[in-house]
Structure 1
Amino acid sequence: MPQLRRGRIPAANRIFVDREAPQRIFEEAAFAIPADRSIIRVFYGVGGQGKTALCRELMRRTNAAVEPSFAFLRRAELDLHGRSKEDPDRLLVWIRNGFAGSGIGFPCFDLAFAIAWEATRGDEPLPVFTRQWLSRATAVGKFGVDETASAVKDLLSSDAVKDAAGELVGSIPGIGFALKRIGNWSIEKGKRFYLEKTQEALKELYDGGELKKPYELSRLLPWMLAQDLNAHLRENLVERFVLFVDEYERVFDEAGAGSKWEENPFDGHMRVLLAETNGLLTVFFSREQLPWNREPQWRGDLDGHQHLLGGLADKDADAFLRAIPIDDDATRQAIIAGARETTSPEAPIYPLMLDLQVEHWGSLRAAGIALEPERFALGAASFEDRRIEIVRRVLRDYGTPLGVTLERLSVAQRFDRKAFQYVVKTFGTALPLDQFDRLADLSFVTKAPDGFLSIHNLVAETIRETLAPEMRAASVEELFKHYAARAAIATARDITNETVAALVEAAYLRLALGIEGYIAWLYDASAEIFGSAWSRNIVGLWREATTLAEFRLGPDHPDTATSLNHLANLLHDIGDHAAARPLYERALEIREKALGPGHPDTATSLNNLANLLRNIGDHAAARPLYERALAIYEKALGPDQPLTATSLNNLANLLRDIGDHAAARPLFERALEIREKALGPGHPDTATSLNNLANLLENIGDHAAARPLYERALAIDEKTLGADHPLTAISLNNLAYLLHEIGDHAAARPLYEQALAIHEKTLGPEHPQTAASLNNLARLLHDLGDHAAARPLYERALEIDEKALGPDRPQAATTLNNLANLLEDIGDHAAARPLYERALAIYEKALGPDHSGTNRVRMNFAKHLLAANEQDKALSCAELALAAHEKSLGSHHAWTMASARTTADALEAVGQNERATALRLQYGL
């Protein structure tokens, strides 16, 4: 007879029972919530008792439609099952949404969250807000950026808000303190008074007139949430709040019975919220007591209020067994007795233990063994020993091969068919390899949509507790080795969903070996994913690593700085500059304090932050950081070291960007000289220096000098890295670009095509570098007049960038601009205009109004407006582009000259011929 399959009957721990004592405890607390503080009640116990069912039942019963006497309660439920714990700020959003559904407004929290989000998350998708009144305006044309900014600006300039925020409002000339942070957000009509209600809370966002650091803003959020709840209470004196929190153990790194509770940012946010909120009853459902009672400030709140949740009632357990059906009365009673906490006939019945007893019953029945009542008796007296005894019994039922296999797999968070087979083969468990599906049928095993299995927490913990230390250590080490090997890839082209899933499981097992060295391991294991199309898939892993480093090693530990730096690099790579910047700044702060201002790692942080500032167009802020990093490297490492060359190269890139080619050239030449000497003339880094110097020469029009450098760089890359390496593709693109610029289209085209083929092969067809290659080839075809061939390449490049990087990134804007140029050339002006507008909006938001990329698009848009006979708008755009290019690139840069030419054309179009002539003479046009 086959074993009983899961799903044919409901699990016992899903059945709600009429728990009169917990209901009475809750009701007594609910009707005694004080107005001047919060109170706590905890129902705890091992997994599988039906705590979730009790939580839901209390939530249901407190609905005023079910029980009118609870109408004074504003309720929220927070179920942490399946929710990520890597982002503590989202915990507050979940709580906020629960109470918002009860009709509570959150002006303080929502505004503070918007400011903190803009400062730390950039364009990361916003959490969903219930009853949202403050939101991003993202679609140009649907709610224009200028219109939104104006609406917020008008609101923030009101006397009421100025009074609330004191001198802070308006401290940023012409905008106001909040507009700078939420200028691209819109406020629902009728809810603008919300800002006036923030009152003194707004001041807490600032320290000495400056916005606090992002991590400080995060720590303020629970306090802000409490201010809104308290304000509601002041206006509704008879009302009270109740918050149900299920599976609270999930906020800790290691959940469950007997595990070590550790300080966690989620927990920290929750503590602040409860400490600052009045009129709140929080009911926790958890595997263990709240560990807060170890601290004096919480002991009084928790003493006598943490209640061990009892088990199933006898009648409910009996009804459950009858439904299977188990018809014999004596067998049912024996099964129930074995599922009790202790040997006492009055002891609670635990649903999960009842499930395991049924699992045992099904194994005996399948084996044709007599179902005698004594087979279900347990000899152990304590709960801990009884659960161990019953788990061991169930494993014995399965036989040694399956039992030992489960023991080995219990150390993993999840496992799939490959991991199962690895364990069977590595440890010689003798279980047939086709038995994986049998594991999925076990009542305490859950199968996820991706095919991975997981063992119920309590059962897995029980199994692990019974393992000999050597067996447990060997299992962890081997499974870690297995998943780490599956996560390892040769190139970014090899990354798949399975790669990322294996990395997550390897990270879990590596943490089981200790936090020491974890950050270095994680970087090595995920290095190939950085900069790939899969970068976004590991942001969560690195956020969690950063949190763990901070809370286990300390906020000022060098590994914390390293994790912050790697997370920032990852966010920088995917274009989320706003989120990356504060992480770079904090990593720099830690390194300066822990390692010293002259340490090479401090210089690395300076370089990284400067790279970001340069990428967003803030050259003035980036330059002193580059210069300081270079001085550190030269002093600490010497003037002829490779890192010094890298620093020279970075500073030279900035100088080239701003058009100071005379200052940039000797730095590029010195970096090249160092690399040739220290690394050799055939090293890939030497090729990088050759490429950079050639690019500068190309920019100043010396194509004859640039070409042999590009050709030499390409030869080095092909020899040292191979003909199919992504860096080889970049060298091909560089040489092709030069050939394209000098009009040798026939020579440029095959190089562009070869670079595209390499990127598609090594990085994949949806990688941003592939999109860049498509863009280059499309631009050449466009210049050749082959619009029909160019258009689908532009469109494919745009699709890739929007999918891989997001629709609001500069890379997408570049393609939008190019595609708009093509549409303009084929006479489809109506289709071109929204693309120009969208590209310009993206650049302004991502890189700022003064960035060269922003103003290249603005210049093109000015040309479009001229063609559309909108001369006044065209002149305004052209003058803005010229002023910006003049300021950042200098008078002699090609883009400055192009902007001057377009401005002169616009001046002539509006009849200002004298100004146009003077401008042409000024720039030698």
Structure 2
Amino acid sequence: MSRSPSPLDIAYGLLEEGRLIDAEQLLVRELGKAERGYGHGSPQWASAQGDLGNLLFSSGQVDRAVDCYRSACSYPPAGDREAYKDHLTYRLNLGTVLTMAGRLDQAEDELRRNVQERRDFYGREHPGYAYALEPLADVLLRRGDVGQARQIVEEAVGTFWRSGHERVATALALRAEIIVVSGGGEPAFADLEHLPDGIVEQIALTVMNRAGQDPSTGKAVLTSLVAALEERLGPDHQATLNALSQLANTGHDIGDEAGRVWAIEKVLASYDRQGRAEDALMATLGLAMAHEDAGDTAAALRTFENAWARADRIGRHELRAQVLRNWGLALSASGRTDEAERRLRDAVAEADRGHDHEMLGRSRIALGLFLQHEERLAEARQVVEAGLATLDVAHPDAITGRSHLGAIVQGRACGCGDVQGTIAEAFREFVITRLPADLLEDLDVTVEDGEFAIQVRLRRKPDPAEIEHMNRLIESANAEFRGRLTSRR
């Protein structure tokens, strides 16, 4: 019999739907229930703090997650072995999140404390002890102490290996990164032939998750991983393809567009071998944009034409619209305006026929911006406004459309408006529509030095619960919109 979903399960479901505020409020209510029912500092209260910390960390609110984990582990339970295990988990989470926040001194202190607590509780040969060794090795690597990081991760690998614990995968992934950073030419993935497929796949997933922390190192580790996966699992295995896709993304991050093209071409060839038409189409679109970013306009346009043929064979309107939109933008950038306009208008028509509201909005925004740059401002305004009507206020294309709409209204064909101001206005709308109508007189949001500056003017004195709700809401809006300040098309 399947279990009923926990409040944390439901909260993560809401988060996946983009309903961060609802998810957070659910767990805040659970925290209040635990405090009323069991008392401040109780194991149940600590568990609720830990759940809230997990959600905040998952939504990018790292500092608030740290506060929750500190609260969760601030009352070590006495005489309850299971509750103490949970306490050790909260301490481990605290150290890990401090690491992610870049607060490495504090992270090392917490993790060394957790290592000692776990050694006393479990003993040196137990996987529960090794759980804290791995993040401690990660902190030491980040601090540049590669030698001690290697020593500690080897102890973790040995403990997990001897106990047959699946966590050996993440420890081996970290060891591979340490080996690459050491620079001695030692193979980073020497033990894959002795491991089950599932463990090899988990190693690959861990490497991919870590690749963005230091893209240059990430590229070197991913390159080694791809070669090892091709030999161990084969060139058409999904783990190999996922690693190649991550290698392409990392290449883009560090400006290695040639490497990005190479990786995508390998993925595309595999999808074609397997007859995976839709996946091959998405890879083809990625290849076209990689050629475009590399400055090879001719190759980009040839690849978009290839993508259109693939989308036409599949026959789905939203896929056709996506190809036509991107193709039209590339044609516009290359100065082929007549062809660009035809493709962009066709994209709108295809999206409309497919009843895909998001793709319709994105296609309209793209067409509207094209018309703006062609100085056809009245038509541009009409098309952009229609596009905004079908997109969520926080959608990146909606933010782009609103910033351009401001320029259109002012009669400007270029300049494209104040993107940061538009993001700030979207931030304001996100917050103000989720607060009681009689509470705020105004909410002023601006961007200063890449961060949101907020001034709140109240109509009346809020009660403590309203203050807490408003503060959480503003923090959540920060998490929702911070990445938009530096995002690109």
Q: What's the TM-score, normalizing by structure 1?
A: 0.29
Distance 1:10 1:271, change over 3 A: closer
Q: Distance in 2 between matches of 1:88 and 1:555?
A: 27
Equivalent in 269, 283, 286 of residue 647 of structure 1: 283
Equivalent in 274, 287, 301 of residue 637 of structure 1: 274
Q: Secondary structure at the match of 1:655?
A: helix
Equivalent in 741, 753, 763 of residue 385 of structure 2: 753
1:741 paired with 2:373, answer yes
Distance 1:757 1:654, change over 3 A: same
Check the 8 A contact 2:233/2:240 in 1, yes or no: yes
The aligned residue for residue 699 of structure 1 is: 333
Check the 8 A contact 2:373/2:414 in 1, yes or no: no
Distance 1:6 1:667, change over 3 A: closer
1:793 paired with 2:422, answer yes
Equivalent in 701, 707, 720 of residue 354 of structure 2: 720
Distance 1:50 1:667, change over 3 A: closer
The aligned residue for residue 663 of structure 1 is: 299
Q: Secondary structure at the match of 2:91?
A: coil
Q: Distance in 2 between matches of 1:783 and 1:579?
A: 47
Q: What is the 5 A alignment of 1:541-556?
A: none
Equivalent in 617, 622, 642 of residue 255 of structure 2: 617
Q: Distance in 1 between matches of 2:39 and 2:320?
A: 67
Give the alignment's Cα RMSD to 1 decimal: 5.4
The aligned residue for residue 105 of structure 2 is: 129
Distance 1:48 1:690, change over 3 A: same
The aligned residue for residue 248 of structure 1 is: 118
Tell me by how many angstroms 1:759 deviates: 2.7
Q: Distance in 2 between matches of 1:702 and 1:794?
A: 31
Tell me by how many angstroms 1:687 deviates: 1.9
The aligned residue for residue 79 of structure 2 is: 49
Q: Distance in 2 between matches of 1:630 and 1:8?
A: 57
Q: Secondary structure at the match of 1:83?
A: helix
Q: What is the 5 A alignment of 1:797-816?
A: 803-804=478-479, 811-813=484-486
Tell me by how many angstroms 1:610 deviates: 1.1
Q: Secondary structure at the match of 2:291?
A: helix
Q: Which protein has greater RCO, CA pairs closer than 8 Å, 6+ apart?
A: 1
Tell me by how many angstroms 1:633 deviates: 3.5
Tell me by how many angstroms 1:716 deviates: 2.2
The aligned residue for residue 266 of structure 1 is: 132
Q: Distance in 1 between matches of 2:351 and 2:401?
A: 18
Tell me by how many angstroms 1:247 deviates: 5.3
1:248 maps to amino acid: R
Q: Distance in 2 between matches of 1:780 and 1:576?
A: 40
Tell me by how many angstroms 1:742 deviates: 0.9
The aligned residue for residue 690 of structure 1 is: 324
Q: What is the 5 A alignment of 1:464-863?
A: 557-561=199-203, 563-564=205-206, 567=209, 588=226, 591-599=229-237, 601-634=239-272, 636-637=273-274, 641-677=277-313, 679-680=314-315, 682-723=316-357, 725=358, 727-760=359-392, 765-781=393-409, 784=412, 792-793=421-422, 795-796=424-425, 803-804=478-479, 811-813=484-486
Tell me by how many angstroms 1:269 deviates: 6.5
Check the 8 A contact 1:782/1:790 in 2, yes or no: no
Q: Distance in 2 between matches of 1:261 and 1:814?
A: 41
Q: What's the TM-score, normalizing by structure 2?
A: 0.50
Unaligned runs of 5+ in 1: 12-45, 52-78, 94-123, 133-220, 227-242, 278-291, 296-513, 517-549, 816-852, 854-925
Check the 8 A contact 1:558/1:590 in 2, yes or no: no
Tell me the number of residue pairs that the alignment of Structure 1 and Structure 2 aligns: 321
Check the 8 A contact 2:374/2:413 in 1, yes or no: no
Check the 8 A contact 1:733/1:773 in 2, yes or no: yes
Distance 1:600 1:783, change over 3 A: farther
Q: Distance in 2 between matches of 1:586 and 1:251?
A: 38
Q: Distance in 2 between matches of 1:714 and 1:250?
A: 65
Which structure has greater helix proportion?
2
Check the 8 A contact 2:372/2:413 in 1, yes or no: no
1:711 maps to amino acid: R
Check the 8 A contact 2:115/2:133 in 1, yes or no: no
Unaligned runs of 5+ in 2: 1-35, 43-75, 82-86, 141-146, 149-155, 160-164, 168-191, 427-445, 452-477
Q: Distance in 2 between matches of 1:796 and 1:623?
A: 37
Q: Secondary structure at the match of 1:743?
A: coil
Distance 1:89 1:777, change over 3 A: closer
Check the 8 A contact 1:564/1:587 in 2, yes or no: no
2:311 maps to amino acid: R
Check the 8 A contact 1:707/1:735 in 2, yes or no: yes
Q: Secondary structure at the match of 1:129?
A: helix
Q: Distance in 1 between matches of 2:129 and 2:291?
A: 47
Q: What is the 5 A alignment of 1:152-191?
A: none
The aligned residue for residue 175 of structure 2 is: none
The aligned residue for residue 90 of structure 2 is: 82
1:676 maps to amino acid: D
Check the 8 A contact 1:81/1:247 in 2, yes or no: no
Tell me by how many angstroms 1:735 deviates: 0.9
Distance 1:657 1:579, change over 3 A: same
Give a deviation string over 1:348-401, Cα, whole Å, max 9, x none.
Answer: xxxxxxxxxxxxxxxxxxxxxxxxxxxxxxxxxxxxxxxxxxxxxxxxxxxxxx
The aligned residue for residue 169 of structure 1 is: none
Q: Distance in 2 between matches of 1:790 and 1:8?
A: 50
Check the 8 A contact 2:251/2:257 in 1, yes or no: yes
Check the 8 A contact 2:328/2:340 in 1, yes or no: yes
Q: Distance in 2 between matches of 1:785 and 1:690?
A: 23
Q: Distance in 1 between matches of 2:232 and 2:127?
A: 28
Q: Distance in 1 between matches of 2:121 and 2:352?
A: 50
Q: Distance in 2 between matches of 1:752 and 1:561?
A: 45
Q: Distance in 2 between matches of 1:747 and 1:584?
A: 47
Check the 8 A contact 1:675/1:685 in 2, yes or no: yes
Q: Distance in 1 between matches of 2:287 and 2:306?
A: 12
1:82 maps to amino acid: Y
Distance 1:608 1:783, change over 3 A: farther
Q: Distance in 1 between matches of 2:301 and 2:39?
A: 75
Q: Distance in 1 between matches of 2:481 and 2:261?
A: 29
Q: Distance in 1 between matches of 2:202 and 2:391?
A: 34
Tell me by how many angstroms 1:717 deviates: 2.0
Q: Distance in 2 between matches of 1:556 and 1:713?
A: 41
Q: Distance in 1 between matches of 2:266 and 2:260?
A: 10
Q: Distance in 2 between matches of 1:566 and 1:716?
A: 35
Give a deviation string over 1:568-617, Cα, whole Å, max 9, x none.
Answer: 6xx97xx9967976785576355324312354652343233213422553
Check the 8 A contact 1:567/1:583 in 2, yes or no: no
1:658 maps to amino acid: A
2:354 maps to amino acid: T
Percent identical pairs in the alignment equals 20
